[in-house]
Amino acid sequence: MPEDNKKVRFERDGHIGIITIDRPEVRNAINAEVSRGIEAAIDELENDSDLWVGILAGNGPVFSAGADLKAVSSGGEAISTARGGFGGLVARPREKPLIAAVDGAALAGGCELVLACDLVVASTAARFGIPEVKRGLIAGAGGLFRLPRVVPLNIAMELALTGDPIDAAAAARWGIVNQLTEPGQALAAARLLAARIIANAPLSVRLSRRAILETRTLDDKTAFEKTAEFFQANIATEDFTEGPRAFLEKRPPVWKGR
């Protein structure tokens, strides 16, 4: 990603790419520079064949307070990108799993960034909410349709219509959060979750992710047909042969991602 972007950091940890929003002085609010930085980091993750899983985190005590309203109101600054939408992420097509590591508040657009990820690890200090109605706005970056896909309809309605946040325990209870950690440990736990994913065949993981996302609203017959397409695509990979061979030879598989 561009080296001149100082508000988003990207680092590699083996097969894991870690994206960190780095504007703690303004609660990691999303401005144009952050959106471009996240998009560039997602490009790096998607285009590097040696990176299999991504993590999105925020530096400081807040994951993200959402859009930088000061930047938007002062000069009409665009905080969306043409390809990724808000934060360079919420509308971005992706192939590789992305884990949100949430330590502190993820509100408004910050919550919508979390909902755009595939898995969520959060500390007990986390809070989630879409408070836009409190400012005469609506959550336009995916929250209004992604929340009811994750939580019961009445819970999504409560969050959207009151604008009130829920704590991490409630978010875990309703299915927004996969794992809860102690404060300050969300990123470490997200790394461990990523490690569990990269132990598996990367193309099988990506095809499984696609199958879940693309069949969730289909009837069973159509879903079976769609799943069969992914199954056949997986058979064509080298890793499809490596998995059973490693099992028979009683050794760990050596995945090539092809």
Give tens-digit pLDDT for 56-87. 999 999 999 999 988 777 666 778 999 999 99
**Residue 183: band (very low, low, confident or very high) from pLDDT cuts 50, 70, 90:** very high
**Residue 4: band (very low, low, confident or very high) from pLDDT cuts 50, 70, 90:** low
Is residue 99 in some structural domain?
yes
Residues 122 and 37 in one domain: yes
Residues 104 and 149 in one domain: yes
Q: How many CB atoms lie within 10 A of CB 120?
A: 28
Residues 84 and 184 in one domain: yes
Contact 205, 52 (CB under 8 A): yes
The residue from 112, 214, 225, 249 that is catalytic is 112
Residues of the domain holding 145: 8-198
Residues 69 and 176 in one domain: yes
Is residue 2 in some structural domain?
no
Per-residue pLDDT at 242: 87
Residues 84 and 12 in one domain: yes
Side chain identity at 215, as an amino acid letter? T
Whether 241 has a pLDDT exceeding 80, the answer reads yes
Is residue 89 in some structural domain?
yes
- CATH code for the domain of 223: 1.10.12
Global pTM reads 0.94
**What mean pLDDT is reported for the chain?**
94
Whether 5 has a pLDDT exceeding 80, the answer reads no
Give tens-digit pLDDT for 146-181. 999 999 999 999 999 999 999 999 999 999 999 999
> Average pLDDT in the 217-221 region?
95
Side chain identity at 184, as an amino acid letter? G
Is residue 105 in some structural domain?
yes
- CATH code for the domain of 171: 3.90.226.10
Residues 213 and 186 in one domain: no
Split into its structural domains, the chain has a count of: 2
> Average pLDDT in the 91-114 region?
97
**Residue 32: band (very low, low, confident or very high) from pLDDT cuts 50, 70, 90:** very high
Is residue 112 flagged as an active site residue? yes
The residue from 132, 225, 242, 249 that is catalytic is 132
Whether 1 has a pLDDT exceeding 60, the answer reads no
Residues 172 and 234 in one domain: no
Is residue 132 flagged as an active site residue? yes
Phi-psi region of 229 (alpha: psi -120 to 50; beta: other; left: phi over 0): alpha
Whether 29 has a pLDDT exceeding 70, the answer reads yes
Is residue 21 in some structural domain?
yes
Whether 245 has a pLDDT exceeding 70, the answer reads yes
Per-residue pLDDT at 54: 98
Whether 27 has a pLDDT exceeding 60, the answer reads yes
